[in-house]
Amino acid sequence: MLQIQPEKDIVVEFIKNEEFKYVRALGAFYMRLTGSSVDCYKYLEPLYNDNRKLRRQTREGQFEVVHMDEFIDELLREERLCDVILPRIQKRNILEENNELDPKVSALDDDLDEEMPSDDENVDAEAKENKKD
C-alpha cells in the first residue's frame, strides 16, 4: 500500500469495512503510518468496539491470537508494532486541550449511567428504608 499510495478516502473505506477483518486491520495500520495524529484518533478509536480475533505471527514464527481492539490500542500507544517503527503521534489529551479533538466518550459511559443511581436517588432510597424501620 505504501507503493500504491491510495487516497485517504480509500483508506477510510478499508477501515470502515466490517466484512473483512484483515482489510480493516490493514487500513488501520496504513492510517497509523501515514495519517496525522487527529486522523489516527478520529478513524481508529471507533475500532475499539470491534472485538473480533486476528492472528499474527510473532518474531519466533509462532502465531498468536489478538483481538482487533487490542491491535488498535497497540497502534495508538506503541512506538513499534509488527517490526515496524511507527511515526510519533501527539497524545490524545494534548489534542483535546488544543480543541483539535472532542473529549473521548466511552461506549460504557451510557451503560454505567443507566446502572448506577445518582446521589439523589441513593439519598431517597436510604430515607425510604429509614421510614420503614
Q: How does pLDDT run across 5-64, given as a tens digit for each residue?
A: 889 999 999 999 999 999 999 999 999 999 999 999 999 999 999 999 999 998 899 999
What is the C-alpha to C-alpha distance for residues 99 and 38, in angstroms, rounded to an integer?
11
What are the structural domain ranges in the chain?
8-103
Q: Are 49 and 33 in contact (CB under 8 A)?
A: no
What is the C-alpha to C-alpha distance for residues 87 and 101, in angstroms, rounded to an integer?
19
Q: How does pLDDT run across 64-118, given as a tens digit for each residue?
A: 999 999 999 999 999 999 889 999 999 988 888 898 888 877 767 666 767 666 5
Confidence of residue 119 (pLDDT cuts 50, 70, 90): low
What is the C-alpha to C-alpha distance for residues 76 and 79, in angstroms, rounded to an integer?
9
The overall pTM is greater than 0.85:
no
Handedness of CA 57, 60, 62, 67 (dihedral sign): negative
Please state, as a whole number, how many other Cβ atoms lie within 10 Å of the Cβ of residue 67: 13
